[in-house]
Amino acid sequence: MIGPSIRRRLVLLVLASIVIVWGIALVTSYRQATREVAEWEEARLAELAQILALLDPVNLTTLANARIDVREEERGGEPGASDLDDDDTLPRDALFQVRGIDGEILAGSPELRALAAWDLPFPPASGAHDVTLGGQLYHSFTLRETLLGHSVRVFELANTRSDLVSGVASRIARPTLIGLPVLALLVWFSIGWSLAPLRELSAVLRSRDINRMEPVGIGRTPLEVRPLVDAINQVLARLHHALELERAFTADAAHELKTPLAAIKVQAQVALAEPDIALQRLAMERVVQGVDRSARLAEQLLLLARLDVQEKLPTEPLKPAVIAKDTLLANRRNAQQKHINVMLVGDMLAEIEAEPVLIGILLDNLLDNAIKYGRMGGLVEVAVRQDDEHVQVSVRDDGPGVAPDDLERLTHRFFRATGNQATGSGLGLSIVARIAEHFGASLQLGAGIGERGLAVRVSFPANRAAATR
């Protein structure tokens, strides 16, 4: 099994590919060499037959009693050549038989009698044929009707270990066997050199301080390593953003919780030191109010933290008007205390794809802000309207409103418009903006009822299935 090392895996795959290709090349070359040798042997037998066809009977008889060693022909009669230079271990004598016009045998190799081939009929046409004599395979070539009217047939023992074929195979295989280890070393070092950028990248990451979040750079990055470096830089950027959010959250939470906790402490000290029962009760009520404010602030901070890191939540079809009705009931007491008339208008059947709890929080923050910062005896309108593409949820009031310069900063965390006397943490619209972004909705701020107060409009993508129904 290949180990986890990329270098080792690449070396094994490259060498395996080379061995396979070289093996195929060796087999192909061997077969090609075998065909070439077979054609060469056939041509050599045809040439020998033509020579024998030109000899007279006396010379043919003399030659028949002599020995024709075809291995001498393969060596080309080189000086100093010996049988040791040939890989053949079997006899390679050429046998022949020559017949006249009337078919009488003019001359022939005596060995043909021992092989029971003396009276073997000639093939009807010239050409090469294989024949079995004495249980052994022979290559033969027949030459019929020459200029002298002779017919010649030459026989050669089929030798499957011809030194020509084995020589070609050995010449191909020998460099392969010798060069494979050398090639393995070259591939090993080449792949190691090619993987150097990965080692450099590992060294850079290993030596980097934990607080350094700037992009990684390793000089001229190869194309294959660049996606990895880009991915690491993207992870570092996201991690840097998450750490910045965490630091901002910690600093903001500490800053915002400091004031109500200090107020709670002061009111508790007043309650402990005040002998008047009525004043003690008033101080304890303010302690309870401070605790409620701190609890709400902590709840909103935790919600913002969850939204910052939360993956996409599962959604379901829901009617904003239904959730808005429940929100109105939950805030009815606060509205009655300021004699504010709250009304719900618009399309009660419009649907969006969202998560009910978060939409409830969004509407609760919008309505709470409208009541909190609206005028005494004023009006607050919650509207749900739908067109072909969007469902718009808006909350409007007719209070003092917000200065135009402050509109763009209303969704910033802990920002409170100047001149507002109502208590608050400045997180309500930040939470609304973050929830709207989570569900792909757009947020718009503008003038409220009668060009007074504030209007907050959240436009959600419409539920197409509901619109079709």
For residue 197, is it within any domain?
no
- d(C-alpha 326, C-alpha 336), whole Å: 16
Distance of CA 280 to the CA centre of its chain: 70
Beta strands 379-386 and 341-346, pairing class: parallel
Tell me which DSSP letter residue 160 carries.
T
Q: Which of 307, 340, 360 is the last residue of a domain?
A: 307
Q: What is the DSSP string of 375-417?
A: PTT-EEEEEEEE-SSEEEEEEEE-SS---HHHHTTTTSTT---
For residue 133, is it within any domain?
yes
- d(C-alpha 42, C-alpha 29), whole Å: 20
pLDDT score, position 94: 86
Residues 287 and 143 in one domain: no
Q: Which of 251, 284, 307 is the last residue of a domain?
A: 307
Q: Which of 283, 307, 331 is the last residue of a domain?
A: 307
Contact partners, residue 296, CB within 8 Å, separation at least 6: 425
For residue 273, is it within any domain?
yes
What are phi and psi for residue 383, nearest 5 degrees?
-125, 145
For residue 184, is it within any domain?
no
- d(C-alpha 419, C-alpha 413), whole Å: 18
For residue 88, is it within any domain?
yes
Q: List the end-to-end C-alpha distance of the chain, in Å, as a whole number.
A: 59
Are 280 and 261 contacting, i.e. CB atoms less than 8 angstroms apart?
no
- d(C-alpha 128, C-alpha 125), whole Å: 10
pLDDT score, position 275: 83
Per-residue pLDDT of the chain (469 residues; tens, 9 = 90+): 445 677 777 878 888 888 888 788 778 877 887 788 778 888 888 888 888 888 888 888 888 888 777 665 555 444 444 444 444 555 567 899 998 888 888 899 998 888 888 888 888 888 888 899 888 888 899 998 667 778 999 998 876 445 666 666 677 677 777 777 888 788 888 877 877 777 777 777 777 777 777 777 766 667 767 787 788 888 888 887 777 767 766 665 665 566 567 767 877 887 788 788 888 888 788 778 777 767 766 766 666 666 665 556 678 898 999 988 988 888 888 888 888 899 999 888 888 888 887 888 888 888 888 888 888 889 999 999 988 788 999 999 888 877 776 767 676 755 555 555 555 555 667 778 888 888 888 888 888 888 888 888 999 988 765 555 5
Give, for 9, the enclosing helix (H) or strand (E): helix 6-53
Contact partners, residue 222, CB within 8 Å, separation at least 6: 194, 197
Copy the structure tokens of residue 299: 């709840």
Contact partners, residue 427, CB within 8 Å, separation at least 6: 297, 300, 301, 304, 413, 414
Residues 301 and 233 in one domain: yes
Q: What is the DSSP string of 416-465?
A: --TT--S---S-HHHHHHHHHHHTT-EEEEEE-GGG-SEEEEEEEEB-HH
Residue 372 one-letter amino acid: K
pLDDT score, position 82: 47
Are 204 and 222 contacting, i.e. CB atoms less than 8 angstroms apart?
no
Residues 282 and 413 in one domain: no
Domain count, the chain: 3
Collapse the DSSP code of 324 into the 3-class scheme (helix H, G, I; strand E, B; otherwise coil) and give the result: helix
Residues 303 and 319 in one domain: no
Domain span at 455: 313-468
Contact partners, residue 230, CB within 8 Å, separation at least 6: none
Taking the model in full, what pTM does it have?
0.45
pLDDT score, position 84: 40
CATH code for the domain in which residue 454 is found: 3.30.565.10
Could you tell me the maximum CA-CA distance found in the chain, to the nearest angstrom? 159
Residues 248 and 379 in one domain: no
- d(C-alpha 432, C-alpha 427), whole Å: 9
Are 213 and 236 contacting, i.e. CB atoms less than 8 angstroms apart?
yes
Residues 267 and 334 in one domain: no
- d(C-alpha 462, C-alpha 146), whole Å: 101
For residue 177, is it within any domain?
no
pLDDT score, position 459: 92
CATH code for the domain in which residue 273 is found: 1.10.287.130
Copy the structure tokens of residue 394: 């808006």
Residue 312 one-letter amino acid: K
Residues 264 and 333 in one domain: no
Are 367 and 342 contacting, i.e. CB atoms less than 8 angstroms apart?
yes
